[in-house]
Amino acid sequence: MPAKDALTERYQDLLSVYLKAKTETTLYKGQQFSRKLLEQQISPEDLVSLHIQVMDELFPDMSEEMRDSFDFLLEAMIGYGFAYREHQSLRDKQQ
Amino acid sequence: MPAKDALTERYQDLLSVYLKAKTETTLYKGQQFSRKLLEQQISPEDLVSLHIQVMDELFPDMSEEMRDSFDFLLEAMIGYGFAYREHQSLRDKQQ
């Protein structure tokens, strides 16, 4: 098995801690994490993809319908990926 | 009960059809739908929020942990909402 991507591992840790603690502080870690993703130019559909990977890991018995619904969310987020890349390009032009 | 938001209803229809048919065509409707959302300046975290509403509707027996994991995804998407609004503002300046 290849070494797990560091971001996926970090997201899985944060989500697992949140699911156990369910506090505002552990929830807020999610928002802080997204700043790190943005710094690394990870697109919104990549975040959804990362979430799905972690859900597969944490909930291996997830029903097929639940699993499939994530694919639909991922597809719907693709349009936002286009907008996000356009944003990066506009920002680069202004710099 | 207040009238259901038209976008939520449309998303629920598309997701339900996809879950039954599971074809490339019905999946692709998700991507087409996100273009409509972008036109209406709906942010990526609003899309996640809309997805959660529909999941609550379609899967009322979803486990608490699964449900909570969506809240974490929503929180993580908030950073992208900021980037998205910055994008709209940059684009408006260029027009």
CA of B91: which chain A residue's CA is closest? A90
| Pick from B35, B75, B90: CB nearest A87 | B90
The pLDDT tens digits of the residues spanning B84-95 come to 787 778 888 877
Distance, in Å, from the CA atom of B32 to the CA atom of A32, rounded to the nearest integer, reads 30
Q: What is the mean pLDDT of residues B66-94?
A: 88
The angle formed by the CA atoms of residues A5, A51 and B56, to the nearest 5 degrees, is 170
CB contact under 8 A, B47 and A87: no
Q: Please list the helix, strand and coil fractions of chain A in percent, rounded to the nearest 5, in that order.
A: 80, 0, 20
Distance, in Å, from the CA atom of B23 to the CA atom of A49, rounded to the nearest integer, reads 19
Distance, in Å, from the CA atom of A23 to the CA atom of A66, rounded to the nearest integer, reads 25
The pLDDT tens digits of the residues spanning A22-35 come to 999 999 999 999 98
**Position A57 confidence tier, pLDDT thresholds 50, 70, 90:** very high
**Contact indicator for B7, B42 with CB cutoff of 8 Å:** yes
CB contact under 8 A, A76 and B48: no
Question: Tell me, what's the pLDDT at B82?
Answer: 80
ipTM, 2 decimals? 0.90
Q: Which phi-psi region, left, alpha or beta, contains residue B22 (left: φ > 0; alpha: ψ -120 to 50)? A: left
| Pick from A65, A66, A77: CB nearest B47 | A77
CB contact under 8 A, A76 and B30: yes
Q: What is the mean pLDDT of residues B66-82?
A: 94
DSSP calls for chain B:
-PPPPHHHHHHHHHHHHHHHH--HHHHHHHHHHHHHHHHTT--HHHHHHHHHHHHHHH-TT--HHHHHHHHHHHHHHHHHHHHHHHHHHHHHHH-
What's the N-to-C CA distance of chain B in angstroms? 42
User: Can you read off the two tokens belonging to residue A6?
Assistant: 């560091």
**Contact indicator for A84, A44 with CB cutoff of 8 Å:** yes
The pLDDT tens digits of the residues spanning A29-55 come to 999 999 889 888 899 999 999 999 999
Q: Report the candidate in A6, A24, A26 with the shortest Cα–Cα distance to residue A14.
A: A26
User: Can you read off the two tokens belonging to residue B87?
Assistant: 């994008």
**Position A73 confidence tier, pLDDT thresholds 50, 70, 90:** very high
The pLDDT tens digits of the residues spanning B8-59 come to 999 999 999 999 999 999 999 999 999 889 888 899 999 999 999 999 999 9
Distance, in Å, from the CA atom of B62 to the CA atom of B90, rounded to the nearest integer, reads 40
B59 vs A93 pLDDT, higher one = B59
User: Can you read off the two tokens belonging to residue A62?
Assistant: 């997830």
Entry pTM: 0.90
